Chain A
């Protein structure tokens, strides 16, 4: 009973530690992230041939996961949605949060103060603003929130090879066409293992109200981000490993690059076609004091 209570209290406390994470995900016969500049071919680093998945692509997956699993829950609205406007049904929640319009009319807050109230209100209501931040148009400069969670570009560990697959359809789009079928094109990566490094600042968590519970939700979303993102283009995508470095303090106990370099994956064959072709090394011995490494699969 007591434990349960403690657990709940902890989840509403603001995140009090710096965190870094390295996420490994792979793709089999799919296109993890199309490049609009290259006819939707998989993104590729032109110099090295390594595959790229943008930060915003992965943030989209996190948002979708939250919307899917926490949709309708108070405080878990998603600001940047993929369709549908969700607001009307939440009207009551807004009223509950801001009772008494009288108080408002009398106060007439100054621009700065009002801006921070607006920001705060948005943070409490929207999970993605609390997590990633957002830009709000106010006439004052404070209309910008930086979220605690920072994603970077994901890169494949080895060069990827993008294959063009031509497919046919036994029907045509337009009426009155002579031909009986149409051809289409798909770009697939036969196999690619990608790594994305991310950062969470406890100080910015203070500012947006990002709690321990939100942090747990984020990790859950990271691990399951592809489980609900199946489609014809993606092929088989899966998160393989998530390494979380938790510092014992807000400021952190070691440089991020040193931590992230403790985790490595090397291919064991020349041509990689599965996750088993990679060997992970985790150098737990060199883990600095005050940093905890948690491995999630």
Chain B
């Protein structure tokens, strides 16, 4: 069991894409635990630790905005790269005028969250890995605004700003703190990377602006 942290994150936009609607991306109403984990990992992560998201506070009102962009329909094919590497003629470049798709994104506007999380030590932890060490590295980085790479809210174009909430600091108040509870339906919890990339889901409910995330094992 590691130490708990609280991180305040916000940005202009976010898109936590629903897996059932990802051709024309539609965001979940709130941040998923997997997105929160990715965001924490952008600040500090080592194979010795595993981030566990406990609660996500939804600070701002949930609002959507639509944007449609020209996108590419194909991914890079492995065989073409192999051919090129072997010196055979291959078409590597993508021609945007021929492979264009116009896709919409329904994204969240002005999102802000407070992530409550802790980390567990994994089997990869060596003798020099102590929870205190990783906890302090994270605190130091989060306080100084340092990061491994810029954290983002679902997609990389939606950069996130972050701020550490100190244990004795007052928590920001959620827009939903005095609103009725909201059932957000089934939401992606995280991907089970040990088990052939199986996605796991949980029933998300927002009470007073807080989404409680069950342990990963309880996801279905």
Contact = CB atoms under 8 A, between A and B. Distances in A.
Nearest to A60: B96
Nearest to A129: B76
Contacts of A87: 84, 89-93
A18 B149 CA distance: 9
B75 A135 contact: yes
Interface in A198-219: 199, 201, 203-204
B93 A136 contact: no
A60 B50 CA distance: 37
Contacts of A252: 144-147
Interface residues of A, number: 66
Quick one: which of B150, B156, B163 has the most chain A CB within 10 A?
B150
A173 B103 CA distance: 30
B90 A95 contact: no
B149 A121 contact: no
A45 B150 contact: no
Nearest to A252: B146
Interface stretch (B63-71, B181-189, B203-211): B63-71
A98 B71 CA distance: 32
Contacts of A282: none
B87 A95 contact: yes
B22 to A, nearest CB: 13
A255 B96 contact: no
Nearest to A104: B86
13 contacts: A18-B147, A47-B109, A80-B93, A80-B96, A81-B96, A87-B90, A87-B91, A91-B88, A152-B157, A252-B145, A255-B161, A255-B162, A256-B159
Please classify the interface of chain B as helix (H, G, I), strand (E, B), loop, or mixed, using the class held by over half of its residues. Answer: mixed
Interface string A175-211: 0000000000000000000000101010110000000
B144 A146 contact: no
Contacts of B129: none
Contacts of A275: none
B93 A86 contact: yes
A137 B146 contact: no
A43 B70 CA distance: 13
Please classify how large the interface on chain B is, using the bins under 10, 10 to 19, 20 to 34, 35 or more: 35 or more
Interface string A131-149: 0001111110101001010
A37 B68 contact: yes
A26 B104 CA distance: 26
A55 interface: yes
Interface in B122-179: 141, 144-150, 152, 156-159, 161-163
A118 B78 contact: yes
Interface of A: 18, 35-37, 43, 45-47, 52, 54-56, 60, 77-88, 91, 94-95, 97-98, 101, 104, 115, 118, 121-122, 126, 134-139, 141, 143, 146, 148, 150-153, 155, 197, 199, 201, 203-204, 249, 251-258
Interface in B52-74: 65-72
B102 interface: yes
B93 A85 contact: yes
A85 B91 contact: yes
Contacts of A77: 92-93
Given A46-B65, A94-B85, A257-B161, A79 B94 contact: yes
B157 A251 contact: no
Nearest to A257: B161
B93 A78 contact: yes
